[in-house]
Amino acid sequence: MDWHETEIRVRYAETDQMGIVHNSNYLIWFEVGRGEFCRARGFSYKEMEEKDNALMVVAESYCRYKSPAYYEDLLTVRTRVEEIRSRSLRFIYEIYRAADDVLLAEGETLHLVTDENKKVRSLPASYKEKLLSAEIADANAFPENQGPS
């Protein structure tokens, strides 16, 4: 499975008193990467939830910190799907600093697919196909039924 890359610039609010990015931000950046990965494959979380009553609930998360990031660093979040089962999926992430291509963090998240009542359900086949697709949708296109009126 191919990596999808998302750029993020470190904001001042994401740093601590020492000017280093606080560790909690990496999980937020994983979420940003995951959302952009899905959009690049032609759908959004919102579409899954509203149209197909399928929510991807985080069941596990892991992050290994390798090197610090600092205010104003331009980062690349690399995201890919590692595994898809009938009712769960696992994403893998790497975060690099663009200026020197240093690996800052790596991690993964495991998601259970549930309905709006938090009952575990199968991942709709159409999303599995899109997630496994090597074809990238037009990055400037809006997901179905979510464009401007």
> What CATH number does residue 102 fall under?
3.10.129.10
Cβ–Cβ < 8 Å for 122, 53: no
Is residue 141, in this structure, part of any structural domain at all? no
24 CA to centre of own chain = 15
Q: Which of 2, 16, 73, 115 is catalytic?
A: 16
111-149: per-residue pLDDT in tens? 999 999 999 999 999 999 999 987 555 444 445 555 544
State how many domains the chain has: 1
Strands (E), the chain: 4-9, 55-65, 74-84, 88-97, 102-114
* Domain contains 99: yes
Does residue 20 register a pLDDT over 90? yes
Query: Within a domain: residue 114?
Result: yes
In a domain, 145, yes or no: no
Please give the residue range of the domain that contains residue 15.
4-132
pTM (predicted TM-score): 0.87
Residue 35 domain flag: yes
Quote the CA–CA distance of 33 and 95 in Å, as a whole number: 10
State the CB neighbour count (10 A cutoff) for residue 57. Answer: 12
Active-site residue, 16 included:
yes
